[in-house]
Every structure is written in structure tokens, then in C-alpha cells.
Structure 1
Amino acid sequence: MLELLISLTVLLVGYYTYKWVIYPLYLSPLCKIPGPPPDHFLLGNFVGVPQIKWTKDYGGII
């Protein structure tokens, strides 16, 4: 039973690693479109959201 649990855990970790890391970064057709790399692996462009809010609140002198 323990071997089955370990096997399923390894399978799920491998699947999600492929789905969220390997495919989007290396195998997706969209990765061949030129452009800047993502700012943060997990957050993507959400890192800039506070900056946009601060710019709206306080102007462009941040």
C-alpha cells in the first residue's frame, strides 16, 4: 500500500511539473513568440499590479 501511495505521489508531482513548468516554458507554441520573459514564475504579471495601483493613486513619480 505504501508503494502505491509513493507511486501515485511521484506520478502527480511529475504530471504537474510537466503541466506547469516544462510544457509552458519549453514545448508550447506560445513560447516561440518573442517577448520579455515572465517576471516571476508563479505570479506572472501580477507582480506589477501594486505598481499600477500606486501609479494611479499617487501619479507617475514613484
Structure 2
Amino acid sequence: MSDRTKQPLTPEEFKSEVSRRGWTYRALAERWGVTENYVSKLARNPERALHWDDAVRGLPTVVVIRK
């Protein structure tokens, strides 16, 4: 396990990682079966359970194909 995955994400890192992978909180909430408000609260909580950070780090990157 790398040092990076042992460290909890800061609220800013959580939000940045979600965005970097092309996700919105709305889309993430739909995928995870929770509300957008819940995802937002998770993101802002530096004491969140580490499995949420693992979930964000493991998100697939959204690819938008434009024609």
C-alpha cells in the first residue's frame, strides 16, 4: 500500500479527485445510491471513514465522446 492511499483525503482533495475523474456530486450520488447532499457532507468531513476515500480513488474516469 502506498503512502498516498494511507493518508485521508482533505476535503479539498476529495472534491478535486471527484472532479478530476469527471464526476459531479449528483452523478456520484446516483451511482452510490445516496443523495447529493450526503456526498457533499462526506466531501466536507475530514473525519469521514476511509472507505469513502478509497471509493473516490477507485472511481472510473468519465470520458465524454463528442460527435
Tell me the TM-score normalised to structure 1 length: 0.25
Higher relative contact order (CA 8 A, sep 6+): 2
Larger Rg: 1
The answer to which structure has the higher helix fraction is 1
